[in-house]
């Protein structure tokens, strides 16, 4: 089955040709991306054209924030936000294992004005960012976010071309997306033993563009083996997420991955590229009867919110109390990726 090959390494795709005036060159790169997406679901992209200085500025701002005392960081606690933005303390997150994750993070996304109609209507994932009172922080993070979001738009069109669809098939739904950029800090841990820093999971959106500063990331192959995905200079790590798995009915599989505990301090910056909140995602006609199975449609933002609400402690508490109700048709965590495929087999 596609997406579950027994790969032992992760390919590198140079995407500079996506900007070529030559249609054949654009289609060649798209085909290479499609091959990586279907056979591995995890790959590096080079030639993205993002200035290294943007990353360096954001990394410096991130280090400055995480060096603050905990009580200062908690002034920006994510549970104080109405649209899931801000500081995520160690232990706040836990996936299906129920084990809290020993990292801290700062969550940002599309920075909308306070009078945005979706935000005023109570959308749980759209609205203004929470920014710490640090000079230059917001500017550095926003500049990086916008640059990588542009790379995501190019990839979204390329995936459509690779699938033989109109280039705008997906991107016409990406106009005001709840695409999140997370700033993640794994503190120095001299006593770390081999184990999981983040448990095995898939990402809830279309795909992820990741830039880490140290090893630790691993991806699950079709043989059930964990393959190391170390940082490669000049590249982003890209992995397929739940929405592209659903759109392709499993031709592209959301890749199960985890972060291994490492002794060194590590920073990680995933941008989870999504489509618009209310986009209905269901298998494209060419994939509708693939394997004789039809998957139910989901709304992209509702799936993101439902998975998030089952992962973060402050949201789980609200769900348990009845203050918060998950959208109709919400799935439990762990319904995509290789592990889910193996359970359904």
Q: What pLDDT does 2 receive?
A: 43
Domains and CATH numbers, the chain: 12-344 (2.60.120.330)
CB distance 6 to 36 below 8 Å: no
Residue 331: predicted pLDDT: 77
Which residues of the chain are modeled with pLDDT < 50? 1-3, 96, 195-196, 345
Provide the whole-model pTM: 0.93
What is the model's pLDDT at position 156? 98
Residue 342: per-residue pLDDT: 53
Between CA 241 and CA 206 the distance in angstroms is 5
The rounded percent of the chain whose pLDDT value lies above 70 is 90
Phi-psi region of 320 (alpha: psi -120 to 50; beta: other; left: phi over 0): alpha
């Amino acid at each position: 089955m596609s997406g579950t090959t027994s790969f032992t390494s992760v390919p590198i795709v140079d995407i500079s040709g996506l900007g070529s005036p030559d249609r054949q060159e654009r289609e060649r790169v798209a085909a290479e991306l499609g091959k990586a997406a279907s056979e591995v679901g995890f790959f590096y992209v080079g030639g993205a054209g993002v200035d290294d200085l943007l990353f360096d500025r954001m990394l410096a701002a991130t280090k400055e924030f995480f060096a603050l005392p905990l009580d200062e960081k908690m002034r920006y606690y994510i549970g104080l936000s109405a649209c899931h933005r801000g500081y995520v303390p160690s232990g706040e997150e836990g996936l299906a294992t129920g084990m809290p994750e020993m990292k801290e993070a700062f969550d940002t996304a599309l920075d909308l004005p306070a009078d945005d109609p979706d935000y005023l209507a109570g959308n749980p994932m759209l609205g203004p960012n929470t920014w710490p009172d640090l000079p230059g922080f917001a500017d550095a993070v926003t500049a990086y976010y916008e640059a990588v979001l542009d790379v995501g738009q190019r990839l979204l069109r390329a995936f459509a071309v690779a699938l033989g669809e109109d280039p705008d098939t997906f991107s016409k739904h990406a106009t005001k997306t709840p695409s999140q950029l997370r700033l993640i800090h794994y503190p120095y841990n001299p006593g770390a033993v081999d184990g999981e820093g983040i448990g095995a999971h898939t990402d809830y959106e279309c795909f992820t563009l990741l830039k880490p500063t140290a090893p630790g990331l691993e991806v699950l192959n079709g043989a059930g083996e964990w393959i190391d995905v170390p940082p490669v200079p000049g590249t982003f790590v890209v992995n397929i997420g739940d929405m592209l798995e659903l759109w392709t009915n499993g031709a592209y599989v959301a890749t199960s991955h985890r972060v291994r505990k490492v002794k060194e301090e590590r920073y990680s910056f995933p941008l989870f590229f999504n489509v618009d909140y209310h986009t209905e995602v269901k298998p494209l006609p060419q994939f509708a009867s693939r394997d004789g199975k039809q998957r139910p449609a989901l709304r992209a933002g509702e799936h993101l919110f439902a998975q998030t609400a089952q992962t973060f402690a402050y949201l789980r508490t609200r769900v348990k109390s009845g203050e918060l109700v998950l959208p109709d048709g919400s799935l439990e965590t762990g319904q995509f990726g290789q592990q889910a495929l193996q359970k359904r087999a």
